Chain A
Amino acid sequence: MSHGVRVRDIVDALECEVAAGIGHLDNEVSFGYSSDLLSDVMAGAGPGDVWVTVQVHQNIVAVGSLTGVSAIVVAGGAKPAPETVLKADEEGIPLLTTTKPSFEVIGLLYLMGIRGRVRE
């Protein structure tokens, strides 16, 4: 568990744009998760995770909401669909975008002290 990292810190450190959920940047970040297969995210991500993906379909918001992630980072310059942005605002999930590829994003998050959940 990372101590004291908030979504706002990620926005600053990664120079992300905030596409949605601007009122929820004080969400605390517990762990990190990365996958572009939403069924895998549903099974693997957990509450408070920052989730890194290149998927932009509106289902990412439902999956983010279901798993309780603290933020979704859309990496690699992918542009979230307008419905995705609307839904993220409705659900109050920070939707961050960056042109940095997933690998860079995850590396930077790791340097901030965020780790993956290690399951037994």
Chain B
Amino acid sequence: MRLFLTDLHIHTALSPCAENEMTPPAIITAAQAKGLEIIGICDHNSAENVEAVVKAGAVCGITVIGGIEVQTVEDVHVLTFFRHPDALSAWQKEVYSALPEVENDEERFGEQLIMDSNGRVTGKLCTFLLGSTSMSVDYVAKRVRELDGLVIPAHVDRPSFSLIRNLGFVPDMLEPCCMEISRNISAEEARDRFPSIARFPLVKSSDAHRLSEIACYTGIWIESASWDEILLALKFDKGRSVTLRDTIM
């Protein structure tokens, strides 16, 4: 067993609010430079660039966990990850059908670039991704579990788009799960300020929207960088565990 440096929440150039420098190869290079071995790709309400980053990561031995940062009807951001790419595709379809049919205004919000593993732009997504889906946080939790996925409420300490801010406390439906805290807070302070998350395992991620933000706040003690091992660590099961750092590792 050893420590794998991990950042589970990184955006790509697909998210309108992320910089266009967030290409699959650039993300992998930046992750490597920080010593990360496991990263999660979670764009807003879409997974169109996941496959490209998985491919780019495979070349360098970086494990990429594909996901979507879903915005629920309550304006809560939830990270959703899947064991199988097929499940992620199925989930993406459901998320798209739950999004309002609004076109992205590039001038105002930024481009939504779809890329291949070399960082070449292969398309643009028209549907505006920065909206709330019609799905409740309870439904998201239930449905993602049905698809053998993992639910992590995002940056629960933040003053907006957070489970705790918007819904006051952790709904029963979400248990068992772990919570993500933002880079702005230590685990100790988060547990202190938000008592309702105190009993949950925490991960801390960069929520990087630009390359310089990619960072390592989370270390996972596991045998290998596999889905099953990561799940065990997030449950602190079978000797696996998660270690958080207040400063970048």
A residues near B (Cβ < 8 Å) are: 36-42, 55-59, 62-63, 81, 83
Given A62-B168, A63-B168: A55 in contact with B136 (beta carbons within 8 A): no
B74: A residues at CB distance < 8 A: 55, 57
Q: Which residue of B lies closest to A41 (CB)?
A: B168
Say yes or no for B246: interface residue by CB 8 A criterion. Answer: no
B residues near A (Cβ < 8 Å) are: 74-75, 136-138, 164-169, 171
Q: State A57–B78 Cα separation when bound (angstroms).
A: 15
Apart from A36-B75, A39-B168, A57-B137: 12 A-B pairs, beta carbons within 8 A: A37-B165, A38-B169, A39-B165, A40-B165, A55-B74, A55-B166, A56-B136, A57-B74, A57-B138, A59-B168, A59-B171, A81-B138
CB distance from A34 to the nearest CB of B (A): 15
A62: B residues at CB distance < 8 A: 168-169
Which interface residue of A38, A62, A81 has the most chain B CB atoms within 10 A?
A: A38
What are 25 A-B residue pairs whose CB atoms fall within 8 Å in the complex?
A: A36-B75, A36-B166, A37-B166, A38-B166, A38-B167, A38-B169, A39-B164, A41-B168, A42-B168, A55-B74, A55-B166, A55-B167, A56-B136, A57-B74, A57-B136, A57-B137, A57-B138, A58-B138, A58-B171, A59-B167, A59-B168, A59-B171, A81-B136, A81-B138, A83-B138
Q: State A81–B138 Cα separation when bound (angstroms).
A: 10
A58: B residues at CB distance < 8 A: 138, 171
A37: B residues at CB distance < 8 A: 165-166
B137: A residues at CB distance < 8 A: 57
